[in-house]
Amino acid sequence: MNQYQHLLQLDQQFIWHPYSSLGSDMPVFPVVSASGVQLKLADGRELIDGMSSWWSAIHGYNHPQMNLALENQIKTMSHVMFGGLTHPPAVELAKTLVEITPDTLQSVFFSDSGSVAVEVAMKMAIQYWHDKQQPDKQKFLTLRGGYHGDTFGAMSVCDPVTGMHGLFNQSLAQQFFIDTPSSAFNAPCNANDIENLRSVLTEHHSQIAAFILEPVVQGAGGMRFYSADYLNKARMLCDEFNVLLIFDEIATGFGRTGKLFACEHSNIEPDIMCIGKALTGGYLSLAATLTTQKIAQTISNGNPGVFMHGPTFMANPLACAAANASIDILLNSNWQTKIHTIESWLQQYLSPCATLAKVKNVRILGAIGVVECHEAVEMKTIQSALVEQGVWIRPFGKLVYLMPPFIINEADTRGLCNAIFSVLK
């Protein structure tokens, strides 16, 4: 038995993969190394990575500056508890995040995953209204088609019908849902979308702590792009009805849509914002929830006078060092031009998929390319077929999509797009 077969045998015997069954016959592919935009399999094949490891590895793999930052940090301190202690990587990162995010966001709470960042945001909103003597504001308003994570609070604001968590509905908190905005990305928000939002706020604002949504791009819930003007109108209505506004920028942050944060496509700022994924350049798990001084001070001066959350690995020094390096690499590069270039390559090489009978539409924004089919793809078949084409792309539902590392070149972008066209054809 060779190394490849041995790894697969042990994997199938012991490991649960995301959204899979133990011992599943769904194909898995052992990776033994990664560099640049290439993943090397145990059998020697190399794949162009079109996923950035679920949208996080924006600088690709084995980046020398990232590696050096982690090597230097591990020599001094790999981890220390954050309760009662602090350390330079966390302080530096918090300062940077406050500087590069919307101006009103001045307070940073670190956590260890995007789902937890959303949980933290929801708890912040509830605790804020509790300390404002409005304890009935315990519910959340959100968009259908959204995805905010796999933990219980986060699951409750994911789409209850088309999402992945329907079987837990009897256990989840019941939230308020409105239809996804129908207005296209570059179009003004239409009146019906705003009336839907106003109607729910009019009837239920006394119960709603916050409106949580993914700005401009709904990610794992369906890869939909919608009008940035909707965010402007949502901000006004949230202010009118005394409801906080939470932006989940976990998938959209750090340049993916062509702006450093997707909310910058609009003219407004949220009360709370969640970031993760690309925060550390895909090296380690880290997330953060940022909020305003008003919210932070209200919670700090309320009862019990502390924010009620504290992860064990909060502000892990290695993860913070990785985040500092990743942000430095991004901001010191000509990233806006690079994203625009990737967008143009996707337009050129992915758009031909729209001519295929099984394709409903192709949509592109920044370094995101989406091919939506009329019917759900057969994962077992399509995944293996894409690997045979020499690419790593992870479809879901009706969607075959790309979120490549920002360092990708034109030839590899063309290879990813051609592989999708070939396999779907």
Q: Which residues are catalytic?
A: 19, 147, 248, 277
Q: Helix (H, G, I), strand (E, B), or coil: what is residue 290?
A: strand
Residues in the chain: 425
What spatial distance separates the first Cα and last Cα of the chain, rounded to whole Å? 35
Cis peptide upstream of residue 304 (ω within 30 degrees of 0): yes
What secondary structure does DSSP assign to 216-251, as a single string?
Answer: SEE-TTT-EE--THHHHHHHHHHHHTT-EEEEE-TT
Chain centroid to CA 7: how far? 30
Residue from 177, 172, 157, 368 nearest 277 by CA: 368
Q: What's the CA angle centered on 318, arms 325 and 125, to 5 degrees?
A: 90
How would you classify the pairing of strands 46-49 and 176-178?
A: unpaired
Letter for the amino acid at 422?
S
The two tokens of residue 261 are 């944060």
Nearest Cα neighbor of 255 from 107, 38, 52 is 52
| 3-state DSSP of 352-416 | HHHHCCCEEEEEEECCEEEEEECCCCCHHHHHHHHHHCCEECCCECCEEEECCCCCCCHHHHHHH
Q: Per the structure block, which two tokens stand in for 210? A: 């916050």
Q: Residue 35 is which amino acid?
A: S
Please, is 323 exposed, middle or buried when counting C-beta atoms within 10 Å of its C-beta (0-12, 13-18, 19+)? buried
Element (H, E) at 106: strand 105-111
Question: Token pair for residue 67?
Answer: 């590696």
Asked if 330 contacts 255 with a C-beta cutoff of 8 angstroms, the reply is yes
Q: Which amino acid is at 388?
A: E
Rounded Cα–Cα distance for residues 54 and 287 (Å): 14
Nearest alpha-carbon partner for 390 in 54, 38, 46, 4: 46
